[in-house]
Amino acid sequence: MLRPVQPRSAAALGRPSGTGVQIRAVSDLRVGDVVEIRTWDTVHCRGEVDAVCPRLGVLWVLDGRLRDRMMVEASGHTVWRLPR
């Protein structure tokens, strides 16, 4: 089931990682990339890219230990590629 990103507390996910590269275009992402979805200094989700749809500007991220699949509209957030 797809659902929009719901804000989570920064305490739940920790502070934004100090490493990573900000992604300007969703088309730069590939399946398997590890990303962090942020708004300002709040991390909404962190996980592995499952699918990318550049035409719509959305990506799906497998988030957390349970690997919840979350749809993220990139225009409302900043997307950071993290090192593996």
Domain for residue 10, yes or no? no
The CATH number covering residue 44 comes to 2.30.30.520
pLDDT digits (tens, 9 = 90+) for 13-45: 556 666 789 999 999 999 999 999 998 888 888
CB-facing half-sphere around the CA of 54: CA atoms within 13 A:
9
Q: What angle do CA 74, 61, 9 make, to 5 degrees?
A: 80
Q: What percent of the chain has pLDDT over 90?
A: 46
Least confident interval from 46-50, 54-58, 74-78:
74-78
Structural domain count, the chain: 1
**Gap between the Cα atoms of 72 and 26, Å rounded:** 11
Domain assignment present for 65: yes
Only one residue has tokens 């992402």, namely: 29
pTM of the model: 0.76
The parent domain of residue 57 ranges over 21-82
Position 60 in a domain: yes
Residue 51 within any structural domain of the chain: yes
Q: Is residue 43 domain-resident?
A: yes
